[in-house]
Amino acid sequence: MNRGVVLALTAYVLWGAFPLYFKAVQSIPPADMLAHRVLWSAVFVWVLLAAQRRWQWIERVFADPRVLATFTLSAIMVSLNWGVYIYAVSAGHIVDASLGYFINPLMSVMLGAVVLRERMRPVQWFAIACAAVGVLWLTWMAGRPPWIGLVIAVSFSVYGLIRKTAPLGSMEGLMLETALLAPVAIAYLVWFTGNAGTASPYGPFTMVLLVAAAGPVTAMPLLLFGAAARKIPLSVLGVIQYVAPSLQFLLAIFVFHEAFDPHKAVGYIAIWTGLAVFTAEAVWLASRRPATA
């Protein structure tokens, strides 16, 4: 149990520190960074799978066309999520990006009700209503929807829904997703490098190393999360998951000095209220179940 909590906290702290990494490479256009993130993630996961000689899953992919179709859709969702997040950090919208990951748990519950026909409890409806009020308030104050947060929340919720029923594990699934995206990423980078007219369009070698680090930066939290999920209850994971957006929010305000006026705070407080109620009820229900459950 304790080891699982440590693994989960490590994963979410690493996710929470993402703005530090993507700020360090913000001189690279978001589309380029997305392509590199796909390629170096594929390389990193391939090395891990090769070290463990875990290739049996490949037969399953070719044996069932539905597996390939499922992971094609999940690859589109994860690339959309990654791309918008990279843009948000480079453009100084980390607060808006953190909003997406605050909303994500409630969005996942709603998708479960709509798609999987899961029954929602009154407290869950109340939590979603609070989040909806917060989003509507932010939309009214800004004159437009908080599209960065909404795209991040929807794409990651749909991605989670797909992976919930997908037949491959986290590492194998990430390998297949990045392999499907790799041809597009390679074609884009070949085109970009040709137009740049230089052998190293990103400048110093240290920047090239930072770009290559996108592989382990992306994959390590996922692998730690996968290990933690097998050791601790989902209710505990549900509480710990707010570490990542909370850290991102704090970095945005106190390190990168993004604007956060009182009017915007009203919308966030409504969303945080919904999350607090949602999480408290989940923990309370988990505490009532027998330990053997």
pLDDT digits (tens, 9 = 90+) for 60-83: 888 888 899 999 999 999 999 999
**Does pLDDT of 288 surpass 80?**
no
DSSP string, 121-166: PHHHHHHHHHHHHHHHHHHHHHTS--HHHHHHHHHHHHHHHHHHH-
Q: Which of 27-36, 112-121, 225-234 has the lowest mean pLDDT?
A: 225-234
Please answer whether residues 173 and 164 qualify as being in contact, where contact means their C-beta atoms are separated by less than 8 angstroms: no
Q: Give the model's pLDDT for residue 181.
A: 96
pLDDT at 203: 63
Taking a C-beta distance cutoff of 8 angstroms, is the pair 83, 152 a contact? Answer: no
Q: How many helices (H) and strands (E) does the chain have?
A: 14, 0
Sorted by sequence, the CB contacts under 8 Å of residue 68 that are 6+ apart come out as: 61, 62
Model confidence band, residue 254 (pLDDT cutoffs 50, 70, 90): very high
Reported as a pLDDT band with limits 50, 70 and 90, residue 110 is: confident
How far is it, in rounded angstroms, from Cα 108 to Cα 97?
17
Q: How does pLDDT run across 162-189, given as a tens digit for each residue? A: 887 788 888 899 999 999 999 999 999 8
The pLDDT value recorded for residue 201 is: 58
Q: CA neighbours within 13 Å on the CB side: how many for 228? A: 24
Stretch 43-48: mean pLDDT, rounded? 94
Task: Return the top range by mean pLDDT from 82-91, 194-203, 262-271.
Answer: 82-91
Phi, psi of 163, deg, nearest 5: -70, -20
0.75 exceeded by the pTM?
Answer: yes
Q: Do the beta carbons of residue 34 and residue 83 sit within 8 Å?
A: yes
